[in-house]
Structure 1
Amino acid sequence: MALERTPQPLRVGVVGLGFAGTTALDAFSSLPGVEVVALAGQEQPRLDELAESRGVPNRYHDWEDLVARDDLDVVSIGVPNHLHHPIALAALGSGKHVFCEKPLAPTGALAQEMVDAARTANRVLEIAFNHRRRADVQYIRRYLDEHDIGRIYHARSSWRRRAGIPGLGSWFTNRQMAGGGPMVDLGPHMLDIALHLMDEPRVTSVSAVAYEELGRAGRGGRSGSTTTGGTRTFEVEDFASALLRLDTGGSIHLETSWASYSADEEDIAVELLGATGGARLFVRNYATDDTVRLYSDVAGAPAVTAPEVHVPAGHHLAVIEEFVATVRSGEWADAYGDYALHRSRVIDAVYQSAAEHREVEVP
């Protein structure tokens, strides 16, 4: 009788020492059959502290040295946006799967090159769209699967902060490094949730505006921000709003703000308007309860349902668990990041529309 072979551990290298890199490091380290064997980052004290506290045996100052290892199965990317593209191309080109923080890249053209590289190498390219894995978002998704609310003809999706520019003068506010402000930082999450709940329609055109009133004046910075990167000029927007037209004939209003003189300190909201019902997600200051409302008619009268949905921590872990499962499955043909590429193309169109003061088509 042949002995059943134990699957080899999945060996991971993590690039990045900030929130994204550390979150991915902890998530990968917590999974059975996964070993984080290498960590890269340029802040030496932080690199040493993380490697020692998490038991990572190999540490590198430069990401190129980590990616060059021939014993890695996965490279996880949690660094400033402009580095996603070169790291991913190098990792995919050397036969490694890639887990990447959002956005896929600062521009749609660079994102296309990443997706093409994943397809050529036949390796998984997954993006950290963790917010769609929130328990309340998943509850609404199941509700829509089980209840007919008619054609969803419009959605409102927004992430707004009262004062939350993540590091005035850091890489976040440098156009070349970040690619934009809140629309490229928060917008991918809100666009992803809306498209996910609406069964993945395609955005065909965009009409947008963008402003930089507070950030340009040095106001609206997040209190206690420790983001590093120097004292760069504020070069991006602090508020953007867009009307997206869909191939279904429907539409989405997408709005993002790092800073504005508005009522809420921070809120995440998605509202779906259907022909016979509706649903709303509203998360104030990262609330974990009482975030869902369902709208319908009961016995001819308007009805509002407030289901009890608790949102535990761990939705970042959930997306990494799914990524690991996909890698292990060997079924990679639909896992090259195409859906994330579409989101990058839409964000591109938002910035183009705002800059040119006209509606633009999405490729």
Structure 2
Amino acid sequence: MSTQHATPASLKVGVVGIGWAGQQHLDAYSRIDGVEILAAAGMEAELLAQVEEKYSIPHVFARWEDMLELEGLDAISVAVPTFLHAPIAVAALEKGIHVLSEKPIARNAVEGQAMVDAARKAGRVLDVAFNHRRRGDIQALKSVIDQGELGRPYYAKAAWLRRQGIPTLGSWFTNPELAGGGPLADIGVHVLDYALHLLGEPKVLSVSASTHSELGPRGLGGNARYTATASSNKFEVEDFSSAFLRLEGGATLVIEAGWASYRKPDDEINFLVYGTDGGAELKVAGNPSPERGELHVFKDNGEENADYAPEVGSNGMHRQVVADFVAAVRAGESEWERHDGSLALNRAVIIDACYQSALEGREVRL
């Protein structure tokens, strides 16, 4: 059990899950001075051997439970299917280990609350990886809004849409007991996060949502990029979702999240906002998504348009997520209590309300 306060020279970390997300965490940790990747856990023996060699990891395990018994762990990343987020995070936090979890925080807000409670009780960091808010174009737009360029935003629309992007037909992604939901829970939580982040974290008062499952149950909507194959799980989640959110202060936010629909071939991540003094639009389209999207700000100067394209920096993505997590851990107890997972829990509460609204066909107040 790690009870000592970690110092910059002694932060020992582990990663549970060695798929794409887990490898992003491993790469990010390997680039930070004074961080030692002490352990990794994963079920894929061949892949585990590869990351063990690549990052010179001294301890590897098939079972995450065994990894948590390792002496000296200060922090772990949890990069596994959603149904395992809460069990692993709670177990680690109870051992005094800081936790960085992949999104969403858990299958639902009840599990998310258990994680937050464990972080608060242990006095440890619980962060959740919302990497898209670290995009350079989203950060540039955030700066524009924060500086008051648009005045008071009153309407926004945000989406992540795919033509054929169901992540592995028949995998855990399409089983609600394992994933917690379909694209609304998977990529929609990113959309919700960056939209509320851009708007300054307004309180969501109510949601009215719809979900549709039209292509996935027919074996459609997957392609080679998403390794779509028939397997053990039926398609029992939505493949498209939309939600209308009423925000405190009178503003409106509309979000869409779709794994599969008959639309343009490119994946698209977007954000549109109208304010009292200006508007803005961001479009990120491509497979895979480009480093920089098209970002435009719409203003007028007297009788003439004064539209412009803000300068956009580079993407932070998972490297910035992990760097921020490490910085929070190193900052000490005064900072730890600010990183208790409550923001990610807020996202889960809203997503749960959206699913409830879609199921019951009514607006749900939060």
Q: Which residue of 2 aligns with 1:37?
A: 38
Q: Distance in 1 between matches of 2:170 and 2:331?
A: 43
TM-score by structure 2 length? 0.94
Q: What code does the residue aligned with 1:86 have?
A: P
Are 2:325 and 1:323 aligned?
A: yes
Q: Structure 2 stretches of 5 or more lacking a match?
A: 1-6
Q: Distance in 2 between matches of 1:288 and 1:28?
A: 21
Q: Which residue of 2 aligns with 1:296?
A: 299
- What are the residue-to-residue correspondences of 1:188-199 with 2, within 5 Å? 188-199=189-200
Relative to structure 1, is the Cα distance of residues 115 and 227 closer, same or farther in structure 2, using a 3 angstrom cutoff? farther
Relative to structure 1, is the Cα distance of residues 7 and 295 closer, same or farther in structure 2, using a 3 angstrom cutoff? closer
Relative to structure 1, is the Cα distance of residues 33 and 94 closer, same or farther in structure 2, using a 3 angstrom cutoff? same
TM-score by structure 1 length? 0.95
Query: Which string of whole-angstrom CA distances, capped at 9 and with x for unpartnered residues, describes residues 222-266 of structure 1?
Result: 324348994210010000000011122211101000000012421
Q: Distance in 2 between matches of 1:68 and 1:304?
A: 57
Work out whether residues 17 and 40 of structure 1, in 8 Å CA contact, stay in contact via their aligned partners in 2: yes
Q: Which residue of 2 aligns with 1:261?
A: 262
Per mean C-alpha deviation after superposition, the further-off stretch among 221-230 and 252-261 is 221-230
Q: Which residue of 2 aligns with 1:88?
A: 89
Work out whether residues 93 and 117 of structure 1, in 8 Å CA contact, stay in contact via their aligned partners in 2: yes
Q: Distance in 1 between matches of 2:64 and 2:259?
A: 30
Work out whether residues 290 and 308 of structure 1, in 8 Å CA contact, stay in contact via their aligned partners in 2: no
Q: Distance in 2 between matches of 1:264 and 1:277?
A: 31
Are 2:358 and 1:354 aligned?
A: yes
- What are the residue-to-residue correspondences of 1:38-187 with 2, within 5 Å? 38-187=39-188
Paired residue secondary structure (1:46): helix
Relative to structure 1, is the Cα distance of residues 62 and 228 closer, same or farther in structure 2, using a 3 angstrom cutoff? farther
Q: Distance in 2 between matches of 1:128 and 1:228?
A: 27
Quote how far apart the aligned CAs of 1:290 are. 4.9
Q: What code does the residue aligned with 1:16 have?
A: G
Are 2:243 and 1:242 aligned?
A: yes
Per mean C-alpha deviation after superposition, the further-off stretch among 322-331 and 298-307 is 298-307
Q: Distance in 1 between matches of 2:290 and 2:306?
A: 24
Work out whether residues 171 and 229 of structure 1, in 8 Å CA contact, stay in contact via their aligned partners in 2: no
Q: Structure 1 stretches of 5 or more lacking a match?
A: 1-5
Paired residue secondary structure (1:79): coil
Relative to structure 1, is the Cα distance of residues 134 and 224 closer, same or farther in structure 2, using a 3 angstrom cutoff? closer
Q: What code does the residue aligned with 2:294 have?
A: T
Q: What code does the residue aligned with 1:99 have?
A: L
Q: Distance in 1 between matches of 2:58 and 2:227?
A: 27
Q: What code does the residue aligned with 2:86 have?
A: H
Q: What code does the residue aligned with 1:293 have?
A: H
Q: Distance in 2 between matches of 1:248 and 1:113?
A: 30
Work out whether residues 222 and 228 of structure 2, in 8 Å CA contact, stay in contact via their aligned partners in 1: no
Quote how far apart the aligned CAs of 1:169 are. 0.4
Q: Distance in 2 between matches of 1:182 and 1:225?
A: 14
Q: What code does the residue aligned with 1:322 have?
A: D
Work out whether residues 204 and 246 of structure 1, in 8 Å CA contact, stay in contact via their aligned partners in 2: yes
Q: Distance in 2 between matches of 1:62 and 1:229?
A: 27
Are 2:185 and 1:222 aligned?
A: no
Q: Distance in 2 between matches of 1:161 and 1:354?
A: 21
Work out whether residues 8 and 35 of structure 2, in 8 Å CA contact, stay in contact via their aligned partners in 1: no
Q: Distance in 2 between matches of 1:7 and 1:339?
A: 26
Query: Which string of whole-angstrom CA distances, capped at 9 and with x for unpartnered residues, describes residues 56-106 of structure 1?
Result: 111001000111223100011000000000000000000000000000001
Quote how far apart the aligned CAs of 1:40 are. 0.3
Relative to structure 1, is the Cα distance of residues 264 and 163 closer, same or farther in structure 2, using a 3 angstrom cutoff? same
Paired residue secondary structure (1:280): strand
Query: Which string of whole-angstrom CA distances, capped at 9 and with x for unpartnered residues, describes residues 266-319 of structure 1?
Result: 10001111011011111001122352110111232334212342544x421011
Work out whether residues 291 and 309 of structure 1, in 8 Å CA contact, stay in contact via their aligned partners in 2: no
Identity across aligned pairs (percent)? Answer: 48
Q: Distance in 2 between matches of 1:233 and 1:186?
A: 20
Work out whether residues 272 and 280 of structure 1, in 8 Å CA contact, stay in contact via their aligned partners in 2: yes
Relative to structure 1, is the Cα distance of residues 219 and 176 closer, same or farther in structure 2, using a 3 angstrom cutoff? same
Work out whether residues 156 and 253 of structure 1, in 8 Å CA contact, stay in contact via their aligned partners in 2: yes
Quote how far apart the aligned CAs of 1:7 are. 4.4
Which of 345, 348, 357 in structure 1 is aligned with 2:349? 345
Paired residue secondary structure (2:336): coil
Q: Which residue of 2 aligns with 1:3?
A: none
Q: Distance in 1 between matches of 2:91 and 2:269?
A: 35
Relative to structure 1, is the Cα distance of residues 229 and 342 closer, same or farther in structure 2, using a 3 angstrom cutoff? farther
Q: Distance in 2 between matches of 1:290 and 1:255?
A: 18
RMSD: 1.6
Q: Distance in 1 between matches of 2:285 and 2:119?
A: 37
